[in-house]
Structure 1
């Protein structure tokens, strides 16, 4: 621990000092911070002032709280998600896993997908993406994707009922097929359109993805088009501290 410069110590200055230690590596990802009492003695302040300083770092996403009252420097191993290659050309889907899972395994990581299936009425946004009437029935496959046991993505794929009915898209669980399910049921994607936005997560997303306070997410929308129009829209919520999004384009 460094010794802060002389002067009246405030919560802001405590946060600045600890932030600097995180930045220069004195406090490394995964390190447990000293206890509030230890910090109070070091900085010569009250426990309340220490708590306020730590709260600043929690709000910035630099520090996370754990059971037992410990505070730890946030640690994560981001994945490189190459959206140019994702689902493109000769898809890497097989009975062992889809294109996403295969890419994660190739990076030496352990992917899992927890999938639930729902029948829903298309809201205005989904209806626009899929070019179906508002309120028409769609099939939603919701995937909670984990890497090395940690939640990394929440992906919701919606399909028009006339495409999904009577197919593997209605099966619960992590179903994958060579070339992708859509291709296997006769509705391959011929082109895609991506939309990416950055925002703060909803409370439900924060809970499902186990996000520390202050963590923004990318919302990646991929609309897949077949020969006669949209066949799927997938909305993926990707925590900003766990991803690096990559596109490779010819110019």
Structure 2
């Protein structure tokens, strides 16, 4: 920007001024008054560019308030947005830390053809193989087995009457000790009754157990949806309260030889922790 000024001798001359008032300061070029949304988006950009990688945390509040020419309350709201996006965590008196979650590539492969035919594997062994192929540690918390009235959504998938009883086997999968997935298996009560599916311990090969008790699976429907986590899902996955980071819910409804659903598998995977990759063998 050019400006006109007079010298002491009365001669007019043109001089160049900085294009931005903040060009000589550490303030970013942007609006004169930053909103919480704008601050949060700018901090997210800086995090993605690795600006805070060396310290692992955001600069002190005082420094950020000065940089963005804002108030402490507006900055607090911006940090809250970063928390709900799953990008930062905070510790009282210690600062705001940048989350560094490395997502797992979960490769959902077709199995070898056999008596039950070729299928997509979504069980723990399949997920564990994906995690360990990356040189990381996969584990699963002890399975919780309950007989309860099926939630409406589960009842719909299993084609049960409203309020009908079902058996749930619920587990939490971890990668390097961090919750990464929920893996819940639901069965109609008459399918699971008096079978190993009712036993309160981990079992491997749910498909094989179903086949052994006369409910071999002959058809599977995969349903994949993304939305915000429920309160229960957020609690089990140890997500930030009011988290807005979407989760992927992967549902598999399996039917037996009689054409009725015999199992419904619900896998809940936070979007920032999981990458689902489907491999199909011809």
Q: For this structure pair, what is the TM-score category when the shorter chain's length is used for normalisation?
A: 0.7 to 0.9
| Counterparts in 2 of 1:90 and 1:198: CA distance versus 1, 3 Å | closer
Uncovered stretches (5+) of structure 1, i.e. residues with no partner: none
Counterpart in 2 of 1:5?
29
Tell me whether 138-147 or 203-212 shows the greater mean CA deviation.
203-212
Uncovered stretches (5+) of structure 2, i.e. residues with no partner: 1-25
Counterpart in 1 of 2:252?
222
- Structure with larger RCO (C-alpha < 8 A, sep 6+): 1
SS in 2 for 1:176: coil
Counterpart in 2 of 1:72?
97
Shift of 1:45: 3.9
Tell me, yes or no, if structure 1 residue 137 matches structure 2 residue 161: no
Counterpart in 2 of 1:25?
50
Whole-angstrom distance in 1 between the partners of 2:160 and 2:199: 23
Larger radius of gyration: 2
| Counterparts in 2 of 1:217 and 1:16: CA distance versus 1, 3 Å | closer
Counterpart in 2 of 1:100?
127
Q: Which of 96, 116, 140 is equivalent to 1:113?
A: 140
Q: CA RMSD in A?
A: 3.2
Shift of 1:103: 3.6
Shift of 1:186: 4.2
Counterparts of 1:172-191 in structure 2 under 5 Å? 172-177=200-205, 180-191=208-219
Whole-angstrom distance in 1 between the partners of 2:54 and 2:215: 45
Shift of 1:159: 0.8
Q: Does the 8 A contact of 2:88 with 2:99 survive in 1? A: yes
Q: Which of 174, 195, 201 is equivalent to 1:146?
A: 174
Shift of 1:91: 9.0
Shift of 1:78: 1.2
Shift of 1:98: 3.5
Render the CA deviation track for 1:143-166: whole Å, top value 9, x for unaligned. 111111111111221112222122
Tell me, yes or no, if structure 1 residue 203 matches structure 2 residue 234: no
Whole-angstrom distance in 2 between the partners of 1:109 and 1:198: 26
Q: Which of 80, 90, 95 is equivalent to 1:55?
A: 80
SS in 1 for 2:146: strand
- Number of paired residues? 248
| Counterparts in 2 of 1:98 and 1:149: CA distance versus 1, 3 Å | same
TM-score under structure 2 length normalisation: 0.74
Render the CA deviation track for 1:71-105: whole Å, top value 9, x for unaligned. 122221211223343798489899xx644334433
